[in-house]
Amino acid sequence: MRTTGKRSVVLYILLFAFLFGMGFLTYRIYTEGEDYISHSYNGHIYADNAVVDLGVITDRNNILLFESADGKKAYSDNLSVRLSTLHTVGDRQGYIGTSVLFKSFSDITGYNFITGLNELPFDSFGYKNLKLTIDAELSAKAYEVMGGKKGAVLICNYRTGEILCKVSTPTYDPMNIPSDILENEIYGGVFLDNTLSSSYTPGSVFKIVTTLSAIENIPDWANKTYVCEGEMYIGNTKVTCLGNHGELNMNEAMGHSCNIYFAKLALDLGNEKLQATAERLGFNKSFTFGDVNIAESEAELTDASDEELAWAAVGQYTVSANPMHMLILTSAIANGGTCENLHISEKDAGTGEIKLLSKSEAEEISGLLRDNVQNYYGDYLFEGMNVAAKTGTAEVGGDKKPNSWMIGFSQNSETPYAFVIVMEDAGSGLGNAGNAASILLNYMKDKNL
């Protein structure tokens, strides 16, 4: 009897272990099954002769970006479209983990917990198809104007949150993968989507943050003046400027992008106030795009010395900015303080509505950025669009040219575009990113996007 009792206890333990194991396995399949199935090692999906057909991915105008049928996968017939949309659409091997092919797996495979990858009768009616908000031709144009430079281009409709253009370079042709892609330095970082997963020294575009800190903390900020003599010393550290601007107010300092003005302004504000404003605007904070975690923009200023704070205020020191975060901030400024739900498809919830600043702050900074274009850059760059913008020429050291930035938006209700362009190792912000922005926005206006 005792032996029978012991055996019963053992059987109950084994039964409990079995049920627990089955329950745990079911839970893991339910919560992580899509991740397991979509992993790059799954030949059922990613191999050239894969047995699972995926849906069709198109742009906003129904231009084909990707399709899969009868075990064969195909991209656009246009090479420039394939190159420019690679990081958004994805690759056949599943190496680009932030892409639609990877992250919207269930939408284009029809995967669900009950049926797995088995075909359903209504798949043939377009159930697995996915229409993106991007414009394929605009993307190809953006790739062209990057001129072989590494970096990122982002353009959205800030009223609706639709992403119209999302291009990361370097890139490659997913239909003809280069044999030296892992060895050739021109493909360095090619599997990384720079719009989402990279951060860059921002240079003068960070002066928007410094300005908003002044708006928040200095009552008479618009009339506050400083004298620029081309350079200044803080201890043994020299802060330099590209001009000798004399006495400037905020409006003039923003137009001239005067380093000395903003360095002195930061010293008056102090570490804590500038840090607080930066964090309120999204620095040192994690955002998501759909279910992709965006690389954080960083501004660690609390313990910065005076000379470090002065350089941080003009976007140098250790400050970094992610392009998608900059688009969120730019869209919020354009849209009265709140960034609408940025998304790449109607099925993608994007980052959600984000309020970063007050309506009055948005109006004040918009006025300064509009004056930049109107009186310093030239309205001829964006004919008829009333663009407000800021350039950045960010020094990165070594033998590299500066990062070239331009961020901005059109105030014309017929062209509600917000944009962020960054080019690595390029030089002048206005001459490079600014020229690219001019070409792209005029192209969009002509196409009536």
> CB under 8 Å to 38, separation ≥6 — which residues?
45, 94, 102, 105, 109
Closest C-alpha among 244, 48, 163 to residue 419: 163
CA pair distance 323, 420, nearest whole angstrom = 6
Q: What is the pLDDT of residue 51?
A: 46
> What average pLDDT score do residues 190-219 get?
97
**Non-local CB neighbours of 58 within 8 Å, separated by 6+ positions:** 64, 65, 129, 130, 131, 132
Site of tokens 């961020």: 407
Question: What is the C-alpha R_g of the chain?
Answer: 26
Q: According to the model, what pLDDT value does residue 128 have?
A: 67
pLDDT-derived band of residue 71, with 50, 70 and 90 as boundaries? Answer: low
pLDDT band at 125 (very low <50, low <70, confident <90, very high): very low
**CA torsion, points 282, 286, 287, 288, in degrees to nearest 10?**
170
Q: pTM score, two decimals?
A: 0.85
Q: Average pLDDT of 126-150?
A: 91
Give the dihedral sign, CA 426/432/434/440: negative
Give the C-alpha separation, 220 to 400, whole Å.
40
Categorize the per-residue pLDDT at 351 as very low, low, confident or very high, splitting at 50, 70 and 90: low
Which phi-psi region, left, alpha or beta, contains residue 183 (left: φ > 0; alpha: ψ -120 to 50)?
Answer: alpha
Question: Over pLDDT 90: what percentage of the chain?
Answer: 71
| 1, pLDDT greater than 60 | no
The predicted structure's pLDDT at residue 103: 72
Q: Is 294 a residue whose pLDDT tops 60?
A: yes
* Arithmetic mean of pLDDT, 342-355: 77
Q: What is the pLDDT of residue 113?
A: 46
Burial class (CB in 10 A: 0-12, 13-18, 19+), 16: exposed
Q: Are 385 and 441 in contact (CB under 8 A)?
A: yes
Task: Specify the residue for token string 């690679």.
Answer: 86
Q: Are 97 and 129 in contact (CB under 8 A)?
A: no
Name the residue with tokens 């501004």. 299
Please check whether residue 227 is in contact with residue 233, taking contact to mean a CB–CB distance below 8 angstroms: no
How does residue 10 score in pLDDT terms, banded at 50, 70 and 90? confident
For residue 123, what pLDDT band results from cuts at 50, 70 and 90? very low
Report helix angle 435-447 to 136-145, nearest 10: 160
Res. 74: pLDDT tops 60: yes
Q: What is the mean pLDDT of residues 21-42?
A: 55
